[in-house]
Chains A and B, each alone.
Chain A
């Protein structure tokens, strides 16, 4: 397991490079590795934007059934999601839709977690000491792209 302390944008950069490297070594193709990279970037940016500070832990995993994959855990010290399900929706934060007039000059477009959902196969959030932890898994052989969305939304 490799950990990246995240308190600043450049830390996100480092985590991104680290996870791309790991994904490539795990056998991901270029395009897939870039997708994993975007996942780390979105989770890292969220730590910087909302989570005060935290860390990203990346790990290559190997499941008997699913085969190899990459697990990205993002832990922060920010408040819990008011609604994780809502936060996963595009154009929303954890309170609900972001109004178009509030979009310009905002640090994001409210679709970061949506991208995470689309690019991963398993996604869960749980409380962690002094904050929360989001764990995302992407398998080398995706069971069915977008599966994380189905799982997260049906909760």
Chain B
């Protein structure tokens, strides 16, 4: 389609031109449909040309589509970032639910805050036993200051955890037991022999570290 000598030339030429121009529009639209917003139609037509207005309209539409698309992409990115952050925080919360720290050489500390339900009790057992083996710990101190209530069965599982640690060849010390939990445990009638307790985490550490230093 070369000549634009006449706006409306011979029937044949006109038909060819119209098809040609429509084909260009269709090609551009298919590009846009596949996500390419950089394409534009040649605006080489005179103002008065009927296709001129159409071409400019199509170009404007593509431009505004591009803007919309860009902001949608930016928005999506932002959302994805936020979701990733939430996911990371969830993982962090999950991790923090059973933190196990090595506070001294071979001494693990497990501070428990919030509540202890059966799920948590099972998770703690799992995590603690693994940590004792992995880190070659000789002592594990579990601090339950701030735990107000424990179900009898959960307390039972908790004490079994203490005994399991001893089976692994490490000592397990409980600290910060409050009056209500101590009553729960006593009323359960379990054998408390071999369950070492201290009033506070500080007392337990002092005791253990002191022992350790005397030995060496």
Contacts and interface: CB of A to CB of B under 8 A. Distances in A.
Contact of B149 (A8, A38, A112, A114): A38
B115 A37 contact: yes
Nearest to A8: B90
B115 A109 contact: no
Contacts, number: 73
Interface residues of A, number: 31
B148 A34 contact: yes
Contact of B157 (A30, A45, A105, A109): A109
A118 B152 CA distance: 9
A9 B90 contact: yes
A13 B126 contact: no
A49 B119 contact: yes
Interface residues of B, number: 23
A10 B153 contact: no
A115 B93 contact: no
B151 interface: yes
Interface in B125-183: 125-126, 129, 148-149, 151-154, 157, 180
Interface string B67-79: 0000000000000
Given A106-B122, A107-B122, A114-B151, A41 B93 contact: no
A42 B157 CA distance: 15
Contacts of A107: 119, 122-123
Nearest to A90: B153
Interface in A52-95: 90-91
* Residue picked from A9, A115, A119, most chain B C-beta under 10 Å: A115
Given A31-B180, A114-B151, A115-B153, A108 B93 contact: no
A152 to B, nearest CB: 16
A16 interface: yes
Given A107-B122, A109-B153, A114-B151, 8 more contacts: A8-B90, A34-B148, A42-B118, A42-B119, A45-B119, A49-B119, A90-B153, A111-B153
3 A-B pairs with least C-beta separation: A115-B151, A111-B153, A34-B148
25 contacts: A9-B90, A9-B93, A10-B89, A10-B90, A10-B93, A30-B148, A31-B148, A38-B115, A38-B151, A41-B115, A41-B117, A45-B119, A90-B153, A91-B153, A105-B126, A107-B119, A110-B118, A111-B118, A111-B151, A111-B153, A111-B154, A114-B151, A115-B154, A118-B152, A119-B151
